[in-house]
Amino acid sequence: MENYDQVRADFNAIAQLPEGTGWNHNNCYFPYLLKFVPPHTCTCLEIGCGQGKLCALLAEQAEQVIGVDLAEKMIEYAQTHHSGANITYRCGNILDMNFPDASLDLIITTATAHHLPAEWLPSFARAKLAPGGRLIVLDLVNAETVPEKLLWSFAVVPNLLMNLVKNGSFPHSDPRSRALWAAHGEHDTYMTASQVKALAARYLPGTIVRRKLFWRYALFWTKP
């Protein structure tokens, strides 16, 4: 079972690292994910909003954006640097929050689904999304097949190049940043693509799952 006190502590420390404007394995996919935001989205929920960068982008397409994060330092940063008239930030564990059934047009989460109970997010999406609403997930994944292992081994090269070109340095070249992310990674666990697909097929028929280059998968489901 996830130790949420540990997760909160990890991300409170990570929140105090410089955000910068650089490239990383999550924000490089933001433009791609935003293409799948349903038109005329009224209410959007981002689970694990972090420093609020994606919330600010979503606010350009949705009438109301709710950003939830476990770490209070993340929420403080988001409120200071990525606020907006149509953005509401809430600090706490999403598992303890209540939302009316069929009240959301979009649920989106990046690099957070692996912190949630596997069956919780599909059940939450089925109950809380309005008809025609969409679930979008970007998360880390373990390689299990030879092609996947080859793909993600190859990804090391473009990863280094993109960090050098976009950020002017190699990933986590700062010792403090490297230490914090390494410490957090010690208690992270990820599903394989086949496990993600099996879970989606069981609870969210019609789900599309796509492997992405930088050790991630993208999942899209639209509620009938």
Report the distance separating Cα 88 and Cα 222, nearest Å.
24
Confidence of residue 64 (pLDDT cuts 50, 70, 90): very high
Helix (H, G, I), strand (E, B) or coil at 118: coil
Range of the domain at 87: 4-222
Distances 107 to 66, 102, 103 between C-alpha atoms, Å: 10, 11, 11
Sheet holding 87-91, edge to edge: 87-91, 64-69, 43-47, 104-110, 129-140, 216-222, 208-212
pLDDT for 169 equals 64
Q: What total of structural domains would you count in the chain?
A: 1
Q: Measured between alpha carbons, how far is 100 from 116 in angstroms, rounded to an integer? A: 20
Report in angstroms the alpha-carbon separations of 70 from 11, 99, 106, 118.
8, 17, 20, 18
Mean pLDDT value of segment 97-109? 98
The tens digit of pLDDT for each residue in 134-174 reads: 999 999 999 888 878 887 777 777 666 766 666 666 555 56
CA 132 to chain centre: 21
Residue 19's pLDDT band (boundaries 50, 70, 90)? low
Q: Which two tokens stand for residue 45?
A: 């929920």
What's the pLDDT at 58? 98
Residue 222 parent element (H or E): strand 216-222
Going by pLDDT thresholds of 50, 70 and 90, the confidence category of residue 85 is very high
Q: Which residue has the tokens 């420390």?
A: 13
d(CA 143, CA 195): 11
The pLDDT score that the predictor gives to residue 59 is: 98
DSSP letter for 188, please.
-
Output the domain CATH number for residue 185: 3.40.50.150
Distance of CA 138 to the CA centre of its chain: 5
Find the helix or strand (DSSP H, E) in which 212 lies: strand 208-212
First to last CA, the chain: 32
